[in-house]
């Protein structure tokens, strides 16, 4: 087996020349290439044999059928003929599906020193007998078994991680596609996969692939080993998160052997076995789980008690009990103080839109600072519950509520997910008019300027963007995760990028 996992750049453009341009753009950031001949236009496929000699790197030859996620729609006879023609052109590997019986083709590849990758693809989930399936894939000794699965939920991710454990020491390519499976791509060196597939942003070859630069700069991929600790952020949606970039840059700067990943979690209860499989030691928590995670805590501090929300989980051991805190409170307050000249005046009035976990931290912070607060929420009962917990006013996201907000208009805080992908056109409070005198603070940070903020800016309001809060709350999380202060120079760079 290899000492380290290789990075494979998939070439999935419609022409050989474009594939060559992609390879050159990423030169130095991959170990081998995969040529997806099925993605080439009809006139280009026959020319694919020219590529290996021009790139100067090992190349995998792949001609994927439509039912395995490819674009080749011809007959098996036509596929066999094209592969036979290309197999003698200097490819280092050839990827053949588990049911493709072509001994003569395999002999052409192995006779020239090449290797066969024997693959299976499942876009319906992760089979319970995955480890057995993988070990039975190879038709002949020396073939590399490959399984690409599309996990649908946390239970699928757990089965996939269990297969990695069962197959420890076995040469294999094993990966989860899509957002739920994404962590297995980045963790390939820790989990023991032969390679990690990447692709150019403009020619993505499979769901969940990222470009080599992201793998390098955001996830420090080359530094990941079987001993690397795992941290992450859980939520839904989650792939937009900038937290991996913030934390992984900090980890690298202080020499902390860890990686921070986004985990798409819809089923919170089902996620905990996956956290144990990976021995995750710390988690950031975002929408919609900040209240639900509290029931999982063995210990919680006064901030969790007072806000009724938790955005940070830590544990001393990878499978031990979780402790919880809330770094959103200070993360929210620091940018607000700066916007107000260093301090929050007592009696300042504020309208808070939303009643979720983030809103609870905001209302707690504002009330403790002496602000007059109005909560506006679409679901009246939930808004009332939050308001009564902190003895503040409440109303609906409707005309009477918008009229009442005129008396709480020094500060408008938008805490909902409306305006975030995939609902970027959404406005959480379209009937709320801005006079131009308000400070408008939106906790969302992707996109940086939502429809809501566009209206505020057009009215002449000062705005505080959610990226500033993101950085602020992440600094304390980083200290809890690592025991170290986030490097000052990196923090300055991050904060400059937020302006």
Mean pLDDT value across residues 281-300: 96
Give the pLDDT confidence score for residue 3 in this predicted structure: 66
Asked if the domains 6-227 and 329-464 are classified in one and the same CATH topology, the answer is no
CB 9 within 8 A of CB 199: yes
Local confidence band at 298 (pLDDT 50, 70, 90 cut-offs): very high
Q: How far apart are CA 60 and CA 439, in angstroms?
A: 56
Local confidence band at 318 (pLDDT 50, 70, 90 cut-offs): confident
Render pLDDT for 142-176 as a digit per residue (tens, 0 to 9).
999 999 999 999 999 999 999 999 999 999 999 99
Local confidence band at 498 (pLDDT 50, 70, 90 cut-offs): low
The H or E element that residue 23 is part of is helix 16-25
Give the pLDDT confidence score for residue 103 in this predicted structure: 84
Inter-axis angle of helices 76-86 and 103-110, nearest 10: 20
Q: How far is CA 262 from CA 187, 218, 235, 243, in A?
A: 12, 11, 8, 8
Render pLDDT for 323-358 as a digit per residue (tens, 0 to 9).
999 999 999 999 999 999 999 999 999 999 999 999
Give the pLDDT confidence score for residue 499 in this predicted structure: 57
The H or E element that residue 377 is part of is strand 372-377
Render pLDDT for 71-109 as a digit per residue (tens, 0 to 9).
999 999 999 999 999 999 999 999 999 998 888 888 888
Local confidence band at 1 (pLDDT 50, 70, 90 cut-offs): very low
pLDDT-above-90 percentage for the chain: 91
* CATH architecture of the domain with range 248-326+491-498: 3-Layer(aba) Sandwich (3.40)
**What CATH code is assigned to 329-464?**
3.40.50.720
Domain 6-227 classification at class level: alpha beta
Render pLDDT for 173-201 as a digit per residue (tens, 0 to 9).
999 999 999 999 999 999 999 999 999 99
Render pLDDT for 21-68 as a digit per residue (tens, 0 to 9).
999 999 999 999 999 999 999 889 999 999 999 999 999 999 999 999
The domain locations on the chain are: 6-227, 248-326+491-498, 329-464
The H or E element that residue 97 is part of is strand 93-97
- Catalytically annotated residue among 146, 281, 290, 468: 290
Predicted TM-score (pTM) of the model is 0.93
Q: How far apart are CA 222 and CA 215, in angstroms?
A: 9
Q: How far apart are CA 86 and CA 37, in angstroms?
A: 10
Q: How far is CA 208 from CA 98, 154, 194, 214, 258, in A?
A: 23, 16, 18, 12, 21
**Catalytic: 367?**
no
Cα angle at 187 between 183 and 190, to 5 degrees?
150
Mean pLDDT value across residues 230-247: 96
> Exposed/middle/buried for 90, CB within 10 Å: 0-12, 13-18, 19+?
middle
Mean pLDDT value across residues 310-316: 97
Query: Mean of the per-residue pLDDT values for the chain?
Result: 95
């Amino acid at each position: 087996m290899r000492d380290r996992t290789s990075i494979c750049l998939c070439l999935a453009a419609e022409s050989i020349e474009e594939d060559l341009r992609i390879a050159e753009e990423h030169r130095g950031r991959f170990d081998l290439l995969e040529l997806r001949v099925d993605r080439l236009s009809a006139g280009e496929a026959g020319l694919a044999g020219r590529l290996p000699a021009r790139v100067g790197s090992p190349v995998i030859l792949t001609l994927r059928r439509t039912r395995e996620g490819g674009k080749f729609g011809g007959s098996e006879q036509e596929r066999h003929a094209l592969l036979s023609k290309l197999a003698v052109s200097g490819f280092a590997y050839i990827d053949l599906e588990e049911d493709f019986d072509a001994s003569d083709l395999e002999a052409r590849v192995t006779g020239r020193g090449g290797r066969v990758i024997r693959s299976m693809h499942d876009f319906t989930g992760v089979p319970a007998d995955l480890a057995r399936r993988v070990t039975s894939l190879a038709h002949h000794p020396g073939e590399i078994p490959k399984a690409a699965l599309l996990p649908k939920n946390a239970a699928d991710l757990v089965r996939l991680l269990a297969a990695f454990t069962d197959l420890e020491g076995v040469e294999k390519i094993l990966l989860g596609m899509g957002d739920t499976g994404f962590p297995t791509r980045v963790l390939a060196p820790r989990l023991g996969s032969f390679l990690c597939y990447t692709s150019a942003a403009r020619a993505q070859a499979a769901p969940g692939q990222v470009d080599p630069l992201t793998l390098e700069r955001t996830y420090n991929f080359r530094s990941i080993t079987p001993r690397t600790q795992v941290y992450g952020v859980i939520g839904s949606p989650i792939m937009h998160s900038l937290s991996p970039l913030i934390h992984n840059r900090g980890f690298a700067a202080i020499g902390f052997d860890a990686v921070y990943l986004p985990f798409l979690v819809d089923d919170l209860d089902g996620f905990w076995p996956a956290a144990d499989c990976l021995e995750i030691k710390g988690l950031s928590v975002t929408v919609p789980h900040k209240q639900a995670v509290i029931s999982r805590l063995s210990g919680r501090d006064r901030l969790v008690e007072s806000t009724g929300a938790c955005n940070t989980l830590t544990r001393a051991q990878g499978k031990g009990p979780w402790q919880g805190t809330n770094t959103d409170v200070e993360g929210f307050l620091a940018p607000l103080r700066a916007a107000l000249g260093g301090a929050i005046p007592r009696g300042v009035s504020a309208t808070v839109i939303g009643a979720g976990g983030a809103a609870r931290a905001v209302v707690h912070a504002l009330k403790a600072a002496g602000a007059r607060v109005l909560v506006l929420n679409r679901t009246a009962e939930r808004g009332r519950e939050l308001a009564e917990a902190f003895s503040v006013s409440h109303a609906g996201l409707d005309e009477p509520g918008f009229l009442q907000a005129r008396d709480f208009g020094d500060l408008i805080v938008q805490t909902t997910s409306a305006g975030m992908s995939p609902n970027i056109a959404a406005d959480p409070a379209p009937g709320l008019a801005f006079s131009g005198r308000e400070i408008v603070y939106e906790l969302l940070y992707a996109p940086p300027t939502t429809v809501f903020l566009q209206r505020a800016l057009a009215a002449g309001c000062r705005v505080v963007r959610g990226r500033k809060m993101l950085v602020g709350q992440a600094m304390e999380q980083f200290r809890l995760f690592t025991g170290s202060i986030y490097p000052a120079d990196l923090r300055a760079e991050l904060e400059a990028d937020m302006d």
